[in-house]
Amino acid sequence: MDLSIVPLLAILVSLAAVPFILLSSSKPNLREAWTVIAGLIKFGLVLTLLPGAIDGNTVELHLFDLAPGLPLALKADPFGVYFAVIASGLWIFTSFYSIGYMRGAGEKKQTRYFASFAVCLSATIGIAFSANLLTFIVFYEMLTLATYPLVIHNEKREAINAGRKYLAFTLTAGLLLVAASAIIYHYTGTIEFTPGGVFGDMELPRNTMLVVFILFLGAVGVKAGIMPIHGWLPAAMAAPTPVSALLHAVAVVKSGVFAVTRMVGFIFGTDVMAAYGLNDILIVLAGTTIILASLIAFAQDNLKRRLAYSTVGHLSYIVLGIALLTPLGMTGGIMHIAAHATMKITLFFCAGAIYVNLHRTEISNLNGIAKVMPWTMGAFAVGSMGLAGIPPINGFFSKWHLILGSFEGDMIIPALVLIVSGLLNVGYFFPILYRAYFKKGEGLEKYGEASPFMVVPIVITATLSVLFGLFPNLFFNFFDIALLVSESLFNGGTP
């Protein structure tokens, strides 16, 4: 293990930008410059960790004791770096997009918005690099708090209620995490993330293990949007669209599934999960969530809400892949973190561009808009078909591995769930494309494509979705890292 200060710097850089953002409140261009600079530096710092991660190396940094024997420790292992690359990379696009969106929509209190956004990113990278549960809790709660001002951004009654709902769910989750961590610390004496789990050969009563697992599941399941504790996510769509794009499709919810992976692979360990049958609970919940969320998505006329339920479903793809406890399933789950991130952020970006440009939020009003916004809707088509699992977009690649993983574990039902869900995805995305491309629109004459600040990020993320589908190892060796992580979690292949 090497020592390195880079993980800490990567966390702090966006936090350090906050005072600058606040101080340049009256100069919007300067203020946004700080965001972009911080984003670029952060991404650069994370990238310097990437070569090591590809080789399977881990760098560590122990700062000081948070509690006796429990340090505030950072560890950039391959999985953490993988997540950090996705989150910090997409932040850059979101920053540009935010500029276009916030100015285009004439939103108030933009300083608070950009400052909170920077804090969120610090927290997300902190989550990625946490070496133990206590450090993780610190950043997990920080993310909760920093997201709150973004959810209630427009300060309307609906947003405030959404904010309350959000806090009620996430604060409860945080407390369950504290309880679960304390219990694990009591039994094992360590809460450090360890590939293979912290329990070792320890035998715990089945019921105790079950209680700890359920506490844990409640804690990480909220942010991962596992039904029935997903309710905050559709409500949080009251936030401005860039927030929904980066936080409610990438940073916050992916922190949730990241936490699920940490729990399954690094706290309980795949052996313990299998021995106590804990993964069955997870498979049932995830499978149900995938199907139900897809069905509910049909009923949503509001575009963002439909995307939100689609997010709920796709998060459970990842959870399912992890819960299969097979190397291929794990690989597929981890790959889907990146795949869903690039595709869903594209879709949300499109929804935001449509809103800012045409002031339309309902799907039934989207007739014929592909004529005026060809780039946006083209990207939307790529993202939505990718989510449905159509090759060559990266959603296909991860889903392929998920299905293989299901067969590898001799399980048919998860594979069926994934296939049915793919059809449902086509079912609820296709009407949008149909309306946009084939129906005749009204009142669109005076509109054109959205501002370049928004369209360029949209096209880039859509292109990335295709590129990563064709070349999974392009730029960042995501596939190699996913394989590496998943191998490290299984002792010699299958459990």
Binding site for other proteins (CB under 8 A): 64-68, 70, 134, 137-138, 141-142, 144-145, 149, 152, 155-157, 159-160, 163-164, 167-168, 171-172, 174-176, 178-179, 182-183, 185-186
Nearer to other proteins, 103 or 164 (CB): 164
By the 10 Å C-beta count (0-12 exposed, 13-18 middle, 19+ buried), 56 is classed as: middle
Are 127 and 258 within 8 A, CB to CB?
yes
Are 18 and 119 within 8 A, CB to CB?
yes
Are 348 and 244 within 8 A, CB to CB?
yes
Nearer to other proteins, 45 or 152 (CB): 152
CB of 120 to other proteins, least distance (A): 15
CB of 208 to other proteins, least distance (A): 10
Nearer to other proteins, 110 or 300 (CB): 110
Beta bridge partners of 447: none
CB of 211 to other proteins, least distance (A): 9
Q: What is the separation, in whole angstroms, between the first and last Cα of the chain?
A: 26
Reduce the DSSP state of residue 1 to 3 states and report it: coil
Helix or strand (DSSP H, E) at 64? strand 59-67
CB of 148 to other proteins, least distance (A): 9
Separation between Cα atoms, residue 21 and residue 221, nearest integer Å: 33
CB of 14 to other proteins, least distance (A): 17
Are 210 and 276 within 8 A, CB to CB?
yes
Nearer to other proteins, 123 or 339 (CB): 123
Nearer to other proteins, 48 or 172 (CB): 172
Nearer to other proteins, 167 or 358 (CB): 167
Nearer to other proteins, 144 or 342 (CB): 144
Nearer to other proteins, 64 or 410 (CB): 64
Query: Structure tokens of 253?
Result: 């919810």
Nearer to other proteins, 21 or 372 (CB): 21
Least Cα distance to 177 among 166, 189, 169 occurs for 169
Q: Where are the alpha helices (DSSP H) in 439-474?
A: 452-470
CB of 171 to other proteins, least distance (A): 5
Beta bridge partners of 73: 62
> Residues near 296 by Cβ (< 8 Å), separated by ≥ 6?
309
CB of 121 to other proteins, least distance (A): 18
Give just the sign of the alpha carbon dihedral 222, 225, 230, 232: positive
Are 330 and 485 within 8 A, CB to CB?
yes
Nearer to other proteins, 151 or 385 (CB): 151
Nearer to other proteins, 187 or 437 (CB): 187
Least Cα distance to 109 among 28, 37, 164, 36 occurs for 28
Task: Report DSSP state, residue 299.
Answer: T
Nearer to other proteins, 116 or 425 (CB): 116
Separation between Cα atoms, residue 85 and residue 107, nearest integer Å: 29
Helix or strand (DSSP H, E) at 145? helix 133-151
Separation between Cα atoms, residue 215 and residue 320, nearest integer Å: 19
CB of 256 to other proteins, least distance (A): 18
CB of 192 to other proteins, least distance (A): 16
Helices 327-358 & 252-261, crossing angle to 10 degrees? 170
CB of 316 to other proteins, least distance (A): 26
Are 256 and 220 within 8 A, CB to CB?
yes
Query: Structure tokens of 110?
Result: 């933009």
Instruction: Tell how far CA 323 is from the center of its chain.
Output: 17
Nearer to other proteins, 154 or 194 (CB): 154
CB of 244 to other proteins, least distance (A): 20
Separation between Cα atoms, residue 209 and residue 188, nearest integer Å: 12
Reduce the DSSP state of residue 75 to 3 states and report it: strand
CB of 164 to other proteins, least distance (A): 8
CB of 147 to other proteins, least distance (A): 13
Are 5 and 62 within 8 A, CB to CB?
no
Reduce the DSSP state of residue 426 to 3 states and report it: helix
